[in-house]
Chains A and B, each alone.
Chain A
Amino acid sequence: MPAPTPAKGRGRRRALLGAVAAIGAVALLAGCSTSSGAASSGSDYEKASKDTKATLTYAVWDENQVKAIKANLTGFNEEYPDIKVNVDVTPFASYWTKLQTQGSSNTLPDLFWMNGPNFQLYAANGKIAPITGEVKAGAIKPDEYSSALNDLYTYDGTQYGVPKDFDTIGVWMNKALFAKAGVAMPSKDWTWDDFQKTGAELSEKLHADGAYGAAGGMDGQTTYYDTIFQAGGNVIDKSGKTSEYDSAAAEKGLQFWTDLIKSGASPSIKQLTDTTADQWFTSGKLAMYQGGSWFRSALTGTDLEKDVVVYPLPKGKEQATVIHGVSNVVSANSKNKVAAQALQVYLASKQAQQQQGDMGAVIPAYEGTQDAFTKTMPDADLQVFLDAVDYAKPLPVSKNTAAWNTLETNLLPSAFDGSTPVDQVAKDLATKMDTALGKEK
């Protein structure tokens, strides 16, 4: 706000009061216009003819992948020379706000990226088109992708999205810190117990350096969702209507992190709020970081890179990891649905995904196109992330995932820092989460 130019004497006072009035009138309110649209939910699909003419919009949020997308589009245009595709990049922070506004006025982009937490909202409101027709016609073959990913994009028995890429969770190990502490590297076939003990031992030996053996945190995808699955539990039931936080297995999965902090193996929740687990690891102060495959890009080119090796997540009652990935969805109200589906089909092909994998920063979803990823850090055994697909569970989501994600961040810290018994917090969380799920529309 520019400072008003003060006039002299009385006039100045008036100028100031006038400016005050102007500012007072400026409220923080802003509204969006609404229009509820009837959504067609046809599962029809017809193969586009070679001379289809159309201009499509393809909305994405990652600028880094545009180069690979453009390469894909060149291939697509060899097949359909008259379909022009505009790639619309919106940064992730505003991507969903924009989509929601477009969804309200039924002007969604013809084809766009979808993620797990937002998927059901769009599917349940009939904003995106099912891929049933394409699957029936054999144009898209779900078998070629991880079944957990197909599940993630299935709502009410109908699949809407074609997986484009994926990420799984593993343990990033700093070999140099193990050597410094004089602790032997554990076996790759390890259990919860091995993880807890190794973590505590490392923390004790590295105490003088201010370094830790392992770390929890408030990111469910890389921490407590995994352990809940490993304990044989679930965060949310299959129908997506009830929380399962109050189950014995879920409580065990949460207890894992409380124990890890209590034994001193992990920094406290406060410490982890100030400095997140990945930051502890990249500063060389954390020996074992449980993190996603995407963390690779934070390591390439750093001094740490040569000391890093990846382990699979330790086994609880069973072996498990969370899997998540982006998918391509077609707008249900697209005016060029035939052309949009043609593009969706092309991007789902082995050829397109191979190209994505070779050029991009992501692991492509199509089976057998992922070698490029493992070759980026040949000594780190990135294969672990690909092998994890076999026992992966989809990221827990519902129609309004963000609402109960907030409950998790608000309530779970008191369980992790030991100030409230885990079962009590879990029950409280389950009750509140059920209320939030009940409000979903």
Chain B
Amino acid sequence: MTIHTERNPATGTPARTQRASGPGAPGTELPDAPRAGRPPRRTDGFWPWLFVLPLLVGVATFYIWPIIQTFWYSFTSWGVFGGATFSGVANYVRLLSDPQLYQSLLNTVIYTVIVLLGIPIAVWLASLLNTTGLRFAQFYRVLFFLPYVAMPAAIALVWRIMFNGDYGIVNWFLGRFGIDGPYWISTPGFALLAVSLVGLWSSLGFSMIILGAGLKDIPPELYEAAELDGASRWRQFRSVTVPLLSPSIFFVVIVTTISSFQLFDLLYAILGSTNPVIPKTMSLVFYFYSAGFIDNDKGFAAAIAMVIFVLIGIVTLVQFRVQKRWVQA
């Protein structure tokens, strides 16, 4: 299944007949009329296809074809050195009765929810950074964005050391307040929490950049008008900032959800491959990895991959349905 939005889901109009509104008209709604001077044409012949061909070939070769293959392999049983034999729905039957699937799904959902909690924080931080007259705003922006461009493996390694139960700075800090910190990365529950917090922290920068760009587009006149009407800062935030920012927020929510569902590297690098908490902490993709590359059971792994694929598709579809209620065009 693909998450398809050639069309604007709100209006159902094909996206390519629409265009950006002209300069100086932000916030103004223009009707979806074809642009004057260029009469609409039924077809442009093969030329447009020629231009998208390079992209199309890449997508077809590296995404569409592997997806089809994976779908097929999920119904087979693989030898280690290839040689797939059809085994019907056996992989799916085994998968659905494997408690590890549900444990991994639960872990992935918990991780995603915690990372999504970072979005309100990102909205708040982005609007702070957008305050007029703020000094060093650029510097702060760089600071918040750094974790996003840093290598996940490097980030994970540093956090692994900071979370160390005996010598980590996190427990040292908690100790200052008389709290006896847990062995973060080797206690089930705490391990997932620790990984989620790092995930939240490292996604803040990206969300803030998108949201910051969204904030810049809100015309200052609206705030002036609201202020004249006697709206408090909080009221302005609620009634002007949030609604006008909602498309950006929606985008960030979707992107964060999808990337959270694919949690793997952070978990793998923070916990290490021989950590006893892994069965209770693994994510769906980790489950896929361990079936495919540790157990060498690639047919079964393909079935897990299909389940992840469908789940992400469903979640994204639901989000698109629900967004009509809260995202302001």
Contacts and interface: CB of A to CB of B under 8 A. Distances in A.
Given A24-B2, A29-B66, 20 more contacts: A3-B210, A9-B20, A9-B26, A13-B329, A16-B251, A17-B9, A20-B251, A25-B59, A27-B63, A27-B309, A28-B309, A29-B70, A29-B309, A30-B66, A34-B82, A34-B83, A273-B186, A400-B80, A412-B276, A441-B79
Interface residues of B, number: 84
Interface stretch (A156-164, A193-201, A401-409): A401-409
Interface string B259-294: 000100000000010111111000001000010011
Interface residues of A, number: 61
Nearest to A20: B254
Chain A contact residues: helix, strand, loop or mixed = helix
Given A17-B9, A35-B82, A125-B80, A274 B183 contact: yes
A266 to B, nearest CB: 14
Interface of A: 1, 3, 6-21, 23-37, 97, 100, 103-105, 121, 125, 127, 210, 218-219, 269-271, 273-275, 400, 402-403, 406, 409-410, 412-413, 436, 439, 441
Nearest to A19: B251
Interface in B1-30: 2-6, 8-9, 15, 18-21, 23, 25-30
A26 B259 CA distance: 11
Contacts of B308: 28
B109 interface: no
A6 B209 CA distance: 11
A21 B217 contact: no
B114 interface: no
A14 B9 CA distance: 10
A127 B308 CA distance: 34
Contact of B5 (A7, A18, A410): A18
Interface stretch (B116-124, B161-169, B234-242): B161-169
Top 4 closest pairs, chain A to chain B, by CB = A11-B20, A24-B3, A34-B82, A36-B83
Contacts of B329: 10, 13
Given A100-B80, A121-B80, A273-B186, A9 B2 contact: no
Contact of A7 (B20, B167, B185): B20
A110 B25 CA distance: 67
A8 B23 contact: yes
Nearest to B78: A34
A24 B23 CA distance: 30
A8 B21 CA distance: 7
B8 A402 contact: no
B159 interface: no
A145 B327 CA distance: 72
B214 interface: yes
Contacts of B20: 7-12, 14-15
A179 to B, nearest CB: 24
Contact of A275 (B27, B79, B166): B166
Nearest to B59: A25
B275 A25 contact: no
B63 A25 contact: yes
Contacts of B183: 270-271, 273-274
B173 to A, nearest CB: 16
A36 B18 contact: no
